[in-house]
Structure 1
Amino acid sequence: MSSSPGIKPREHVDLVYISIETAIALASVLGNVLVVLVVCVNRALRDTTFCFIVSLAVADIAVGILVIPLAIIISMGFNTQFYTCLFLSCLLLIITQSSILSLLAIAIDRYLRVKIPIRYSTIVTERRAYVAVCLCWILSFLTGLVPMIGWNNRDAHRNSSSIICNFTTVMRMDYMVYFNFFGWVVVPLSVMIALYAEIFRVIRRQLNRRAEATCDGDRYYQKELKLAKSLALVVFLFAVCWLPIHIMNCITFFRRDCKVPKIAFYVGIFMSHVNSALNPMVYAFRIKRFRVTLLQITRRCMLCKPTEPTLRSSIPALEKTDM
């Protein structure tokens, strides 16, 4: 890789990494702020499902505002106290973990909507949805702060008053591999795959039954089938974005003689972050009600045109053609 005069190759790689991370942060914040804004503007979207989507959007906004800047700062390496660096590293885990748990909550919500459509509204109430969102964030804090209570690399730096802050310097790799990856990435991912597979199975079975009975009342399951395809895409993107960095952590932990290039870690890190920028497109912008409201917001705020008086009148029709 060629570098500019006066810039070392490593510094050149760092600059590229920072530029890419900044672009991802801007896209993540902008896209997810629009998601929250659309839900606030359109009252028809304020149901239990969109409660989970807003939770996911908030987590992804935090990724853009906090996680990515902290990741950039930590990657630079600065002198600080051990527990200061450890706390900053734990913040990365807390916020990214909340995003993963929000994805899982959405998957469970869609599964219940398909599996028990008649009883869904009585079981998944607005209050229970708020409780589920709170549990997601509480679990994120508990799992992310585990290194603060002892599962860290403090013993290796006990004689040092300050350290060069780096994620791998303070974080134990067995925690990242066994607890964070196997426990809080592989397990949720496996559960999501199983849930989406069951969603497809239930929808296909219901549509086949209705086809044999020549019944016209299959709009509900056709809509759910379309959404299930989007959910399958979410699982695929989640795996593609998150697995590389964790696989590299496993290689570093299990094969200590095998050194993963720094640029490979950079690629893995920003791939995990880019998932937050993709979520609005997959979850929000594929939903028709989101698109209609977003276009109206764009006309009013960006193009300086008055909002057409169709938002309230069009809501019933939009509810019938949700996707």
Structure 2
Amino acid sequence: MQTHSEQNQEVTTPLYLNGSTPSKSTDASLCDSLQCYMVLNRTEKAAISSICFIAGPVTFLENILVLLVIASSTTLRRRPSYLFISSLALADTFASCFFTFAFLDFHVYNQRDGPNIYLFKLGGVTMAFTGSVGSLLLTALDRYLCIYKPSNYKVLLTRTRAKLAIVLLWCVTILISFLPLMGWRCKTKFDPPCSRLYPYVDRHYMAFWTGFQLVVLFTIIVAYVLILWKANRHETAMGGPKSGRQSVKGQARMRMDIQLARTFSLILLILAVCWLPVLCFMMVDVTVTLTKKQQRMFAFCCTLCLVNSCVNPLLYALRCKELRAELFALLACRKACRQPMLGNTSGQRKQNGSGISKKVKDQAVSDSNPDTISESVDKQ
């Protein structure tokens, strides 16, 4: 006859579908519901909400503005550098929408979606950030070619090749991002080998995506380090006494290299601060079981990726003199269009004047600046 304690043990011991019972050594690592991933308390939810509600709309407006400025300028649309910046702005626009919605929906409002719906939302977030980092890679390679192959730059990087690179980037990005939705998911739903950072996500996929991102980030860092090294060598070489026209040209080039070095150093610093914490947590998640405290820390680190998307337009687009000139011209045109019409003759004259001004400005931008964005970077 069973004792009372044995009967209680028989009732309370959880069973798997095959009738077996989990071992006591693994009980602490098991997770049987989405609640295991909803780890934020009320104060942390308020902080996360504040970050997302501020950074999300700001990121969206900044990148939409960049896309509108580039789309409105025939001159900028012809240049590969600005095509890459358009790809970056598009990815960051997606990030501001997908990440803010999905992150708040899960961590703040505790929405419990099924596997397919959750992985679809996660795929959108992954696509946005993968596309953003991939576009940063294209921009870094563009600037590398500009600095190291200035004479062959237009031959090596044509507009057609730039478009093909962007299409290839987004095809690979979409494929990689939605692999969990297409079947590469955690077979046991929540228990190991599932990730403790994302439900339904297999740790092997997590290792694959994290490794891919690390390779891309490493390539970006190497490209910018080589650019900085080139700028430093150029500054040293120009240190000697020069005279005449060669001296003036060399000093102007040296000042441009120094400005580029400062800009690229800032880019590397922000890129490392925003992405390395998240990727480190993901690598740890592949090998060990994270605690709830570590899960909460990871949730805050994820918001740094959104902050990176918010900063990208300021680093890659609005620091460029050409794009700022296009932006001011667009704003001036909008302001002129909103002024009341004083008459058909007056209105026609304003319209013609605006069109002539726009044409003259486009021609001035095209003639006065080189085709590479690297040489148009200007310190604010």
For residue 361 of structure 2, what is the aligned residue in structure 1?
Answer: 311
- Distance in 1 (alpha carbons) for counterparts of 2:175 and 2:290: 33
Size of the alignment, in residue pairs?
306
Per the TM alignment, residue 105 of structure 1 is displaced from its structure 2 partner at its CA by: 0.6
- Distance in 2 (alpha carbons) for counterparts of 1:34 and 1:149: 34
For residue 53 of structure 1, what is the aligned residue in structure 2?
Answer: 85
Cα distance change of structure 1 residues 134 and 107 upon mapping to structure 2, 3 Å threshold = same
Q: How does 1:164-183 map onto structure 2 within 5 Å?
A: 168-176=198-206, 178-181=207-210, 183=211
Per the TM alignment, residue 187 of structure 1 is displaced from its structure 2 partner at its CA by: 1.0
Structure 1 residue runs of 5 or longer lacking an equivalent are: 1-8, 159-165
**Which segment drifts farther, 70-79 or 265-274?**
70-79
Give a deviation string over 1:212-252, Cα, whole Å, max 9, x none.
48334334564354234322322221111112222233344
Cα distance change of structure 1 residues 194 and 262 upon mapping to structure 2, 3 Å threshold = closer
- Distance in 2 (alpha carbons) for counterparts of 1:197 and 1:250: 25
- Distance in 2 (alpha carbons) for counterparts of 1:257 and 1:57: 34
For 2:323, the aligned partner's letter is F
Cα contact 2:85–2:139 (8 A) shared by 1: yes
Q: Of 99, 104, 113, which aligns to 1:80?
A: 113
For residue 152 of structure 2, what is the aligned residue in structure 1?
Answer: 119
- Distance in 1 (alpha carbons) for counterparts of 2:165 and 2:290: 43
Per the TM alignment, residue 270 of structure 1 is displaced from its structure 2 partner at its CA by: 0.8
Cα contact 2:235–2:254 (8 A) shared by 1: yes
* 1:28 aligns to 2:56 (yes or no): no
For residue 203 of structure 1, what is the aligned residue in structure 2?
Answer: 231
For residue 45 of structure 2, what is the aligned residue in structure 1?
Answer: 14
- Distance in 1 (alpha carbons) for counterparts of 2:284 and 2:226: 33
Cα distance change of structure 1 residues 42 and 318 upon mapping to structure 2, 3 Å threshold = farther
> TM-score, normalised to structure 1's length?
0.83
Cα contact 1:74–1:167 (8 A) shared by 2: no
SS of residue paired to 1:171: coil
Q: Of 184, 191, 196, which aligns to 2:212?
A: 184
**Which segment drifts farther, 140-149 or 278-287?**
140-149
SS of residue paired to 1:35: helix
For residue 275 of structure 1, what is the aligned residue in structure 2?
Answer: 308
- Distance in 1 (alpha carbons) for counterparts of 2:269 and 2:234: 25
Give a deviation string over 1:63-110, Cα, whole Å, max 9, x none.
112232122223233333322212221221111100010000100110
Q: Tell me the C-alpha RMSD between the 2 structures.
A: 2.8
Structure 2 residue runs of 5 or longer lacking an equivalent are: 1-39, 340-349
For residue 65 of structure 1, what is the aligned residue in structure 2?
Answer: 97
Cα contact 1:52–1:102 (8 A) shared by 2: yes
**Which segment drifts farther, 192-201 or 226-235?**
226-235
For residue 342 of structure 2, what is the aligned residue in structure 1?
Answer: none
* 1:147 aligns to 2:197 (yes or no): no
- Distance in 2 (alpha carbons) for counterparts of 1:74 and 1:186: 26
SS of residue paired to 1:260: helix
Give a deviation string over 1:127-168, Cα, whole Å, max 9, x none.
00000111111111122122234332232369xxxxxxx962
Percent identical pairs in the alignment equals 24
Cα distance change of structure 1 residues 16 and 210 upon mapping to structure 2, 3 Å threshold = closer
**Which segment drifts farther, 186-195 or 167-176?**
167-176
Cα distance change of structure 1 residues 90 and 257 upon mapping to structure 2, 3 Å threshold = closer
- Distance in 1 (alpha carbons) for counterparts of 2:98 and 2:189: 28
Per the TM alignment, residue 209 of structure 1 is displaced from its structure 2 partner at its CA by: 3.9
SS of residue paired to 1:89: helix
Cα contact 2:228–2:264 (8 A) shared by 1: no
Per the TM alignment, residue 206 of structure 1 is displaced from its structure 2 partner at its CA by: 3.8
- Distance in 2 (alpha carbons) for counterparts of 1:39 and 1:98: 19
Cα distance change of structure 1 residues 302 and 236 upon mapping to structure 2, 3 Å threshold = farther
- Distance in 1 (alpha carbons) for counterparts of 2:255 and 2:72: 27
For residue 92 of structure 1, what is the aligned residue in structure 2?
Answer: 125
SS of residue paired to 1:29: helix
**Which segment drifts farther, 199-208 or 294-303?**
294-303
